Amino acid sequence: MEFDWLEIPFANGELTKREIEESFEDPFSIRLLPEFSDDSRETRYFCLGKALNNKAVFSVFWTDGKQYRVVAARPMTGDELHFYERKNAEMQ
């Protein structure tokens, strides 16, 4: 998977590009499509995953099927982390 990075800061320096990429490679990552879609824009997806250093990452991204462009990323909130852990427990 290739990333097309914009040169914008993410999460006020709390996350590195490497941590964000690793969160997408997390075998337990959860990718969601929002219920609403505005046809005038590219569809945005959400990814909840963990980096190798166990940092929990929430990302908003779009893809053309070949590349991913992360629009925004930040550490997961407590509720998001709970959702991530609950969904992964349900799959086991």
Tell me which residue range forms the domain holding 23: 2-36+43-90
Share of the chain above pLDDT 70, in %: 86
Mean confidence (pLDDT) of the chain: 88
Residue 58's pLDDT is 96
Q: What is the pTM of this model?
A: 0.86
Q: Does residue 73 contact residue 10 with C-beta atoms inside 8 Å?
A: yes
pLDDT range class, residue 43, cuts 50, 70, 90: confident
Which residues, in sequence order, are bridge partners of residue 75?
57
Residue 6's pLDDT is 75
Mean pLDDT of 25-52: 84
Number of domains in the chain: 1
